[in-house]
Amino acid sequence: MKALVLGSGIDALVTAHTLARAGHEVTVLGKRDGEPSPHTGWIARRVIANLDLERHGLSVEWPDPWVSAPLPGGARLALWRDVARSADEIRKLSARDAGQWPKFCERMQAIAGVLEDLYGAPPPDPLTHTPGGLIDLARDALRLRKLGRQSMDDFLRLLPMSIADLLDAWFESDVLKGLLGAQAVMHLAQGPRSGGTAFNFLHHHVGSPAGVFRQARSNVRDVLSALPGIQRLEHEAARIEVQDGGVRGVVLDGGERLAASLVVCAGDPRRTLLDLCDPGCFDPELLRALRNIRSRGVAAEVTLTLARDPGFTVLALAPTLDHLERAYDDSKYGRASSDPYIEARHEAIKEGAHRAHVHVQYVPYALRDGTWDDARRDELAKLVIAKIDQAAPGFAASVLGHSVLTPADLEHRRGYPQGQPYHAQIALDQMLWMRPVPQLARYRTSIEGLYLCGPAMHPGIPGATGANAASVILRDLKKSK
């Protein structure tokens, strides 16, 4: 069958290659040179095996230490992949926390494992009446029961909690809590005291080894791009053609028409259904639900070119949970935080050339007192450079140039709605069978042959989402034969 996949991100490519391997003729539409997504890191084992990515040169990079943070007096705290080594570091701050560390890592790993299982398949449907669906539900329930009381209680109790409450129950060191808390608010329009941030923390922990609370980086996008077996067209779709309730093809930005009875979109579902399709095709309830998807962007990306190695792998500036909370307060009222959470990751590009990729949060999509312009972007870059320089003296002098992408820029450049890279914010009410809205949670739309496979879909983890979407599509195709 002829299939069109819209998008050039990891999920689009995983979907495309999975369909192609099943014998379908797949064309991918989208600009090849899009910038790397910030989370091209961990990739589900199933995806690696199915597409044989290791043989094609996949490399996953886990910085070690995975994070470091400045301590008062110029010293640094570094946390390593090795749990015992991290515990030794933490002992500098608190013997009690060092003692807690291995147990904490193990408990978090257990819960992330449950999530990983749930993420490796299309979301369970709690309302299903089909025998297969009921079996799936029973299997999920059984799996949860098999965890034993401790992990099961953790799983049920921790997800709705705030990360502040979770960490306060385990640790006393502000620095440690700040570093861990930062992962819990990553790309989220919430502060560490908000409910549900513990879930975001665990969500981002999925796929990481025990004791590592930052995501990996990998070249997966490049590897997928180089894989043979699909056709690629450097065009964007302007319209999806629908007739008699079924998809018929796509009209390109140049006006050319491509016929296909299977179209899979990796873009933001709102844009896909409301802009590319005729909204008249859909139920008003669905339209309302689509408009209510929360996708608030809260982070800017600053890229700095450096004259030399900055002396850190990953440097996080989130000294306390209150620091994160105050940064969030600013953004609640439409201000870019004056003392944001900053996380800089070093990348050596080639001989002697270096870059720092900086995550800056909280930076709102819309400012209450004006709009994002170059002056404001430069101001943000200056702030970031100055803050890093305080923690790593001499850093500012090594900066050769900067580029800033605010949430508004990210929307424009990469199609992130309001600058939110997950398209639909990671939150308990937008996960599993609710992601992004219940009507679309199975990757299908009400238009026959039109599917969704982007980050807004379950589970929102690059690669895993595409693989789930492809499995649903292939199952549907088999059924209709």
Partner 1 sequence: MADYDALVIGGGHNGLVCAAYLARAGKRVLVLERREIVGGAAMSEEVFPGFRFSVFSYVVSLLRPEIIRDLDLPRHGLHILPLESTVTPLANGDYLGQWSDHDQNRRELARHSLRDAEAYDEFGRLMYQMARAVKPFLSMAPPDPASLAPRDLLGMVRIAKQLRGLGGDRFHALHKLLTMSAADYLDEWFETEALKATKSASGIIGTFLGPRSPGTAYVLLHHYMGEIDGVFRAWGFAKGGNGSVSAAIAAAAREHGAEIRTNAPVAKVLIENGRATGAVLENGDEIRAKLVVSSADPRRTFMQLVGPEHLPDEFAQAIRNFKFRGSSGKVNLALSELPNFTCLPGAGPHLRGAISISPSIDYLERAYDDAKYGEVSRRPYMDIVIPSMIDPSMAPPGKHVMSIFVQYVPYKVNGGWTDAKREAFGDAVIDTVAEYAPNIKSAILHRQVITPADIERIVGISEGNIFHGELALEQMFFLRPVPGWAQYATPVDGLYQCGSGTHPGGGVMGASGRNAAMAILKASR
Q: Does 126 bind partner 1 (CB under 8 A)?
A: yes
The one segment of 91-99, 254-262, 322-330, 395-403 that binds partner 1 by CB under 8 A = 322-330
Q: Strand 399-405 relative to strand 262-265: parallel, antiparallel, unpaired?
A: unpaired
Residue found under tokens 């369970």: 124
Stretch that binds partner 1, among 28-36, 311-319, 380-388, 427-435 (CB under 8 A): 427-435
Asked if 100 touches partner 1 (CB under 8 A), the answer is no
Residues 6+ apart with CB under 8 A from 281: 242, 245, 446, 447
Q: Using the minimum distance from each CB to partner 1, give the nearer residue, 174 or 322.
A: 322
428 makes contact with partner 1 (CB under 8 A): yes
Tell which one of 371, 429, 479, 480 touches partner 1 (CB under 8 A).
429
Q: Is 325 in the site for partner 1 (CB under 8 A)?
A: yes
Other CB atoms within 10 Å distance of the CB of residue 33:
7
Cis peptide preceding 38, ω within 30 of 0:
no
Which residues 6+ apart lie within 8 Å of 364 measured at CB? 296, 297, 298, 331, 334, 335, 336, 407
Neighbouring residues of 459: CB distance < 8 A, sequence distance ≥ 6: 115, 118, 119, 123, 203, 206, 431, 432, 435, 465, 468
Phi-psi region of 7 (alpha: psi -120 to 50; beta: other; left: phi over 0): left
CA distance 80 to 209: 11
Contact code string over 433-452 relative to partner 1, x by CB under 8 A: xx---x--------------
Using the rule CB under 8 A, which residue among 32, 139, 143, 145 binds partner 1?
145
CB 157 → partner 1: shortest distance, Å?
5
Q: CB-based burial of residue 285 (10 Å sphere; 0-12 exposed, 13-18 middle, 19+ buried)?
A: exposed
Which of residues 102 and 133 has its CB atom nearest to partner 1 in the complex?
133
244 binds partner 1 (CB under 8 A): no
Q: Indicate whether 22 belongs to the interface with partner 1 (CB under 8 A).
A: no
Helix (H, G, I), strand (E, B) or coil at 366: coil
Q: Given candidates 55, 73, 149, 481, which one binds partner 1 under the rule CB under 8 A? A: 149
Interaction between residue 157 and partner 1 (CB under 8 A): yes
**In one letter, which amino acid is 329?**
D
**Part of the chain binding partner 1 (CB under 8 A), chosen from 153-161, 207-215, 309-317, 462-470:** 153-161
Among the listed residues 68, 5, 11, the one whose alpha carbon sits nearest the alpha carbon of residue 468:
11
In terms of CB distance, is 325 or 389 closer to partner 1? 325
161 in contact with partner 1 (CB under 8 A): yes
The site for partner 1 (CB under 8 A) is made up of 126-127, 144-145, 148-149, 152-153, 156-162, 165, 169, 190, 193-196, 288, 292, 294, 322, 325, 329, 332-333, 427-429, 433-434, 438
